[in-house]
Amino acid sequence: MAHRLDPLLAPRSIALVGASNQAGRIGGMPLDLLRHFEFAGAVYPVNPKYEEVFGWRCYADIESLPEAPDLAVLAIGAEEVTPMLERCHARGIRAAIVYAAGFAEAGAAGAALQARLEAFAAQSGMVIAGPNCMGFANLNIRAFTAFAAIFKTVAPQQEPGRVSIVTQSGNVCSALFGLTRQQGVPVSHFINTGNEAVVDFSQYLAFLAQDSGTDCVLGYVEELRNGPLFIDTALRLAAARKPLVLYKAGETERGAAAVQSHTSALAGDMALYRAGFSQLNVIQAQDFSQMADLAMLSGFRQRQGGLRAAVITMSGALGAILADKLIGAGMDLPVLPEALQQLLRDGIPDYGMVSNPVDVTGNIVNNPDFVRTVFEALATTDAVDVVVVNAPGYLLDRMADALADVCARHPRLFVAIDTGAAQSRQKLAAAGVPVFGDLGRAVQALAPWCRWLAQAPATARWAALREASGAVGGQALPASLNEHQTKQLLARHGVAPVPEQVAADADGAVAAAQALGWPVVLKILSADIAHKTEVGGVRLNIADAPALREACAAMREQVAKKAPQARIEGFLVQPMARGGVAELIAGITHDPVFGPALTVGLGGVLTELYRDASHRLLPVDDALVQQMLGELKAWPLLDGFRGRPLGDVQAACASIAGLSRAALALGPQAAQIEINPLLVQPRGEGAVALDALIVPAAAATSA
C-alpha cells in the first residue's frame, strides 16, 4: 500500500475482535454499518460465542482467520488490549483500532496500560489507532470501523466524498459529520483520533493531505503533539489550496482546565495557536455550524476572492446590517469607484444606494438587463474581491440567470444570501454561487473564507522563507553571558546595540562616560544577574563624574548585599537614551508545539494590561516584522500619531529580524531571548537594544 496509514483508513479487509450480533453494541455497530452500506472487502467477526454475525462467518479467535486482514478492530476491554495486539501482530496484521477507554485519560493504572501499548507499538512497528477512540469511516469505500450512530441518521451521499473530518473527540466527530451532511457536503473520511498513543493528529492530517478524496479538512484539536509535522502538513495543504479548518478547545482558562481534565492534554498558548494558525493559513473555527458552512464553501475554492466585498441588496436596512457584520468580521467594504456608482445611479431609484452597500431596491428586478450590467461591472472592477448578493427568495430567483451567466464568464466569487426560499439555489450552486439561508451564518463563514483566500500568498511566502532558512541550531551558546556579551552575540546577527562601554571600575566608568557623552546610565555587569534593577544594579541619568563615582561605589555595595553570590565583572556605561519615539519589547520563546516563536509589543505597563502584542512562528524577515508592528494597536505611536515624529521602523524591523536569526542559530539551547527595550528613534536615527537577555534552556528548566 501507498501510505503507512492505508490499512487503518482504507482497509481492504477488516477483522472485528469482540464482535456482537447486536447493532446497538460497540462490537456490533460497525458490523451493522459495514453490512448496511455494503462494504466490498472481506469482514471477519471474531468471537467464540457466535457462528455467524450480520451474515458473516464469525471466528473463534484471530488465529483462525483465513488470511491476515489489513486491520483488526478491537472491541475489548483495556486490560486485554495489548495481549490481543501481540496476537494480531503474530498473525501478520499490521494495523489495529483500539476502542477501549481506561488508558492515559484514567489515572495512573490507565497510564501504565497505555505505556505498555506504546512500548509494544514501538517495538513491533504496528500502526495502532486510539486507544479511547471511536474509530473511522472511509465513506468512499464504505469502510465503517466506528461505533457511531450518526451514519444511518443522515441522508446517504451520492457523490464521492471531498471533505474529511478528523477530531480528538468522538462526540465532536459525530456532530461535525451530521452538520456537514446536513449542508449536503459529501464526506470522505471520518477520523476520531482518541488518545493518540501511537498515531497522532498530525499524522492523520498528513494522510489526508495526500488523499485525493480530500479537498478540505475539518478538525477538532485539544492538543497538538507533533508540532513540526503539523506545520509541514498545514503548509502542504495550503500549497494544494485545500482549506484546513480547525476548532481549538481551551481558549479560556476554564476551557483549558476542562481540556486538561478531559484528556490530560495541555491546551497550550492560545495566543500562539492563533498566530500560528493564521501564519499557516489554517482557518480557526468558532462554531461547528460555521465549519459545515466552510466545508460547503470549499466546494467553490476555485473561485477567486479576497477581503474587499461589494454588497448588493434590495433593502437599505439589510445593507447596513451586512456592512456592519462584514466589517466586524474583518472584511472591508470599499466605496465603489465613481464610474461604477454612476452606472448604478442610472438604473437605481433615488431612494436606493449606490456607494456600497448598494441598495438596488426591489424595483430593479424588473430590469434584467440592468441587473446583468451591474453584476458584470462588479465581476470586473478592481475595487472589490468578492460580491455578496442579498435578496429575498423570489427576487433572487429573478436575478439567478444574470448571476449564473456572469459567474460562468468571470472567476470572481459571488455569494448569495437568500432570506426567503429561492427556487434557484441549486442552479446557482451549480453555476459556482454558494447560497446561504441566514445572514449571520453567511458572514461567519464568508469572512474567514475570504481571509483564507487572501492569506494564501503570504503563507506561500513564509513557507519559502522557512525552506530557505534551513536547519535550526549550529551556533554554540556560551555557558554564561553578561549583558554586554549578549548584545555582542545578537549584534553579530544584526541586532543594533546601544553604544556602550565596559568599565572595570569607577575610573574606567568616568572615562567611558566622557567618551560616550553625559548624562549616562550605569549598570552592574554580571552574567549571574538577570534582573539588575531588583538588586540596585541600574542608575539612570547620571550627569557628571562625581555623581558617577558615587554611583559606582553605592552600586557595588548594594549589589554585594543583595546578590552576594554573583560574580561582578565590572560596570556597563551607556549614554542616557533620549528622544526615542517608542520602546519596544521583542522576545523569543520555544513553544512545545510550534517551536521558536517571536513576540513583539510596546514596552511598559499599559501594553501588558491591554495585551497588545503580535506573535509569529520563526523565521521572520524584515517584512514580516513590519507586519507584526502594524498589527499592534499601538502602531500609530511609531507612525506619526498626533504630530509625533515617525519612528525608524525600518531599523527596528532589521534588529528584530536579526533577533530571529540569532534564535534560529542558537536553537533550543536558548530557551528565551529578549530585547527589552528596543529604543526606536526618529526615522533615519536607528533603533537600538538598550538591554538584552538570553536564558539558556538549562536555566529555564531549573527555574
CB of 149 to a second copy, least distance (A): 8
Residue pair 212/187 in contact (Cβ under 8 Å)? The answer is no
Range in contact with a second copy (rule: CB under 8 A) among 66-74, 249-257, 502-510, 614-622: 249-257
Could you say whether residue 22 binds a second copy (CB under 8 A)? Answer: no
CB of 386 to a second copy, least distance (A): 15
What one-character-per-residue DSSP string does 481-527 give?
Answer: --HHHHHHHHHTTTPPBPP-EEESSHHHHHHHHHHH-SSEEEEEE-T
Q: Which of 645, 597, 649, 598 is nearest to 626 (CA)?
A: 649
Range in contact with a second copy (rule: CB under 8 A) among 3-11, 29-37, 202-210, 597-605: 597-605
Range in contact with a second copy (rule: CB under 8 A) among 288-296, 590-598, 661-669, 670-678: 288-296
Total residues in contact with a second copy, by rule CB under 8 A: 75
Could you say whether residue 102 binds a second copy (CB under 8 A)? Answer: yes
**By CB under 8 A, what part of segment 327-356 binds a second copy?**
327-328, 333, 350-351, 353, 355-356
Return the residue of 23, 36, 251, 466 that touches a second copy, per CB under 8 A. 251
CB of 359 to a second copy, least distance (A): 7
Return the residue of 42, 106, 454, 458 that touches a second copy, per CB under 8 A. 106
Please state, as a whole number, how many other Cβ atoms lie within 10 Å of the Cβ of residue 11. Answer: 26
CB of 108 to a second copy, least distance (A): 11
- CB closer to a second copy, 69 vs 357: 357
**By CB under 8 A, what part of segment 303-332 binds a second copy?**
314-321, 323-324, 327-328
Task: Say which DSSP state 646 is in.
Answer: B
Which amino acid type is present at position 423? Q
The 3 state secondary structure assigned to 294-357 is HHHHHCCCCCECCCEEEEEECCHHHHHHHHHHHHHCCCECCCCCHHHHHHHHHHCCCCCECCCC
Could you say whether residue 369 binds a second copy (CB under 8 A)? Answer: no
CB of 208 to a second copy, least distance (A): 20
Cis peptide before 677 (omega within 30 of 0): yes
Return the residue of 111, 229, 377, 439 that touches a second copy, per CB under 8 A. 439
Could you say whether residue 424 binds a second copy (CB under 8 A)? Answer: no
**By CB under 8 A, what part of segment 638-697 binds a second copy?**
641-642
**Contacts for 546 with CB less than 8 Å, ≥ 6 apart:** none
What one-character-per-residue DSSP string does 403-443 give?
Answer: HHHHHHH--BEEEEEESS--TTHHHHHHTT--EES-HHHHH
Cα-flanking dihedrals φ and ψ of residue 669, to 5°?
-55, -40
CB of 533 to a second copy, least distance (A): 12
Could you say whether residue 180 binds a second copy (CB under 8 A)? Answer: no
The SS3 call for residue 292 is helix
CB of 354 to a second copy, least distance (A): 9
Residue pair 626/654 in contact (Cβ under 8 Å)? The answer is no
Could you say whether residue 359 binds a second copy (CB under 8 A)? Answer: yes
Which amino acid type is present at position 444? Q
Could you say whether residue 100 binds a second copy (CB under 8 A)? Answer: no
Return the residue of 47, 168, 193, 279 that touches a second copy, per CB under 8 A. 168
Q: Give the DSSP H/E element, type plus range, for residue 594.
A: none
CB of 617 to a second copy, least distance (A): 23
Could you say whether residue 572 binds a second copy (CB under 8 A)? Answer: no
Helix axes 227-239, 201-209, angle to 10 degrees: 20
Could you say whether residue 250 binds a second copy (CB under 8 A)? Answer: yes
Could you say whether residue 581 binds a second copy (CB under 8 A)? Answer: no
Return the residue of 13, 202, 263, 599 that touches a second copy, per CB under 8 A. 263
Return the residue of 66, 77, 92, 107 that touches a second copy, per CB under 8 A. 107
**Contacts for 261 with CB less than 8 Å, ≥ 6 apart:** none
Helix axes 338-347, 368-380, angle to 10 degrees: 170
